Chain A
Amino acid sequence: NLMGARLAGSHGDTQEPKINPLVSISDEPETLYKRLSILVKGHDQAVLDSYEYFAVLAAKELGISVEKVDKPPKTIERFTLLKSVHIYKKHRVQYEMRTHYMCLELKYLTSSTAAVYLEYVQRNLPEGVAMEVKKTKIERIPEHIRKPVWDTLPQVEETEVKS
């Protein structure tokens, strides 16, 4: 029975619009990123696969276009040690450490979008096994290259060169 129910916040027009203290609005133009490249490293391929699914889903929900998901080949660091404490040079033990990579590239972001996405994705990074290295590319043409040089120089009269 909804006859006597009052919705929370519906106090009529006397209430002022609520300002969220966490959201800041500024007038300066935002820096634009052409491509945001996230490289994730880990020891376990299964963990990286699930993290890739999570990151791609988060990007789609936020409306960020994913350029490509690249999986560079794994690097294996091996070293060979002596098996015994004292002698027996012929008997050794080999250890290896495998590092799997996964590169996620997103295109055309604003700085605030990138900040939000990166914060969300970094807070949910799996423990220890995955690590992020981020590279961003900014697009901006400096003022002095905007117009070609030969248009800006004043007209020079041609002088005859007598050989």
Chain B
Amino acid sequence: RAARVRTGKGDKLVTYEQAHPPHYIGHRKGWLSLHTGNLCGEAGAAQRALEDAFLRRFLYGTFPGLLADQVVLRRRGNLLVISALLGRALPPPKLYFLLGYAETLLGHFYKCPVRLELQTVPARVPYKYL
């Protein structure tokens, strides 16, 4: 079954996002990627989905082991806003470098302005332990 965390011994930390299966989207969960491709009468859903997949993998690799939760992507017109939660393993100068690197590289790659908004969290916020 899709996107469900299997129960274990009780030591596995599960965040709110991971704990809820996909039929709770719109009821208890929000959307991770917001664009107009999936609305009735709108085009471009496949391109957005591909871009989202690439962006998630790229960010997973750019911030190695730092991502606390899934990245939220929002598109306003041409602008792409990426909101990410990071852990505090790296010092701030390195984080700023990675931020600028990711923004310029993605901007040149997708030919659109990219804004990356980072927030550091001391640890992953547990919803329950499975």
In the complex, which residue of chain A has the Cβ closest to the Cβ of B72?
Answer: A127
0 or 1 for each of A97-109: is its CB under 8 Å from B? (1 = yes): 1110000000000
In the complex, which residue of chain B has the Cβ closest to the Cβ of A41?
Answer: B39
Check A67 for interface membership: any CB of B closer than 8 A. no
- Whether the pair A97, B38 counts as a contact (CB closer than 8 A) is yes
User: What are the residues of chain B within 8 A of A34 when measuring CB–CB?
Assistant: none
- Whether the pair B75, A98 counts as a contact (CB closer than 8 A) is no
In the complex, which residue of chain A has the Cβ closest to the Cβ of B79?
Answer: A127
Q: How large is the interface on B (under 10, 10 to 19, 20 to 34, 35 or more residues)?
A: 10 to 19
Contact of A44 among B26, B41, B42, B75 (CB under 8 A): B26
Instruction: Give the one of A43, A44, A77, A93 with max B CB within 10 A.
Output: A43
Check B24 for interface membership: any CB of A closer than 8 A. no
Contact of A43 among B2, B39, B76, B81 (CB under 8 A): B39
Check A129 for interface membership: any CB of B closer than 8 A. yes
Check A73 for interface membership: any CB of B closer than 8 A. no
Q: Which of B3-11, B28-36, B100-108, B118-126 forms part of the interface with chain A?
A: B28-36
- Whether the pair A128, B74 counts as a contact (CB closer than 8 A) is yes
Q: B17: shortest Cβ distance to chain A, in Å? A: 17
Check B53 for interface membership: any CB of A closer than 8 A. no
0 or 1 for each of B38-49: is its CB under 8 Å from A? (1 = yes): 111110000000
Check A125 for interface membership: any CB of B closer than 8 A. yes
Contact of A41 among B2, B33, B40 (CB under 8 A): B40
Q: In chain B between 15 and 65, which residues have their CB closer than 8 angstroms to a CB of chain A?
A: 26, 31, 33-36, 38-42
Count of chain A residues with Cβ under 8 Å from any Cβ of B? 16
Q: A99: shortest Cβ distance to chain B, in Å? A: 4
Instruction: Give the one of A93, A125, A128, A129 with max B CB within 10 A.
Output: A128
Q: In chain B between 90 and 112, which residues have their CB closer than 8 angstroms to a CB of chain A?
A: none
Q: In chain A between 64 and 103, which residues have their CB closer than 8 angstroms to a CB of chain B?
A: 75, 77, 93, 97-99
User: What are the residues of chain B within 8 A of A97 when measuring CB–CB?
Assistant: 38-40
- Whether the pair B40, A128 counts as a contact (CB closer than 8 A) is no
Residues of A within 8 A of B (CB): 41-44, 75, 77, 93, 97-99, 125, 127-129, 131, 133
**22 A-B pairs with C-beta separation under 8 A:** A41-B36, A41-B39, A42-B39, A43-B26, A43-B31, A43-B38, A97-B39, A97-B40, A99-B40, A125-B76, A127-B35, A127-B74, A127-B75, A127-B76, A128-B31, A128-B35, A128-B36, A128-B76, A129-B31, A129-B34, A129-B36, A131-B36
